Amino acid sequence: MRSLITLVLVLMALKPVYATVIRKEFSERMTFPFEGGGYKIRGVPRNVIYLTIDDGPSPQGTPAMLDILEDHQVSATFFVHGNQAERRPHLLERMYREGHLVANHSYSHVLDFPSSSSFVNSLMVTHNIITPYIAPEGVLLYRAPGGVWNDWRSRNGNNHSTLRRYVGPLFWNVGGGSPNRQDDADWKCWRRGNGVTVNACADSYYQQILSNYKKGQASLVLLHDIRDLSAKLVDRLVRRLKRDGIDWEFRLADDMPIVREYANK
């Protein structure tokens, strides 16, 4: 019993050391932490909204999303998959031409990479596909599928001559998909039969953004362009935002001071 207590005490003493090691790993360039482990984006006013749109480009969702963004004169950051992008270069071309930002979301949506080379290849193949649609001096951004990230990925990214120029993974603070909520992520309003409508999801996104605003935080919003329902959600959300008297401002993800800081390292 005494040895067990000793072991627990030793582990408790080691915990801060372990945490420091992880933090050091994550302080490499290829990472994007929120400030202080919370959800605040340093140096960004609370009226700023970053729309980030993942998993496309798809014929079902992307043209509709681009149309809605164009209607409202709003810019967004698209985290695309290589396997979708290589089949639809015209949609990447349209994103680029219409002032959106094209970014890397790996080749497909696998959450687990069995080897260093599979991780590097997934990102590099995508990198080569999207490069023509990124401004020559543009910031390279990465978002991990499912937000899954660890020190192994950070190390492999930073050890690669091209990937180490990336800033990522970019997390989010709106549209997260809490297990306790039915309407807090756009994919929840795609499901049939659960009673969640696009309007309910749009209203939930609005409340999440407003809650960030009240806490003094800018919003980094997660959406997807694989169903046209998400475009409808954005339409309703932007209309709602325009009505509330707050001076909302939409920006591209490469505008964040922390992203620029990492990109220039």
What does the binding site for Zn ion look like in residue numbers (CB under 5 A)?
A: 54-55, 145
Nearer to Zn ion, 82 or 145 (CB): 145
Phi then psi dihedrals of residue 92, to 5 deg: -65, -40
Helix then strand then coil, in percent of the chain rounded to 5, is 50, 10, 40
Distance of closest approach, residue 78 Cβ to Zn ion, in angstroms: 11
Output b/e per residue, 111-137; b: 16+ Cβ within 10 A: eebeeeeebbebbbbbbebbeebbeee
> Strand pairing partners for 141?
167
Q: Which is nearer to Zn ion, 55 or 235 (CB)?
A: 55
Spatial separation of the C-alpha atoms in residues 252 and 265, rounded to whole Å: 20
Tell me whether residue 84 or residue 208 sits nearer to Zn ion (CB atom): 84
CA distance 154 to 170: 13
CA atoms within 13 A on the CB side of 152: 9
CB of 191 to Zn ion, least distance (A): 17
Q: How far is the CB of 149 from Zn ion (least distance, A)?
A: 13
Position with the least CB separation from Zn ion = 54
Rounded least distance, CB 109 to Zn ion, Å: 6
Q: Which is closer to Zn ion, CB of 53 or CB of 68?
A: 53
C-beta closer to Zn ion: residue 157 or 175:
175
Minimal distance in Å, beta carbon 61 to Zn ion?
12
User: How far is the C-alpha of 48 from the C-alpha of 116, rounded, in Å?
Assistant: 37
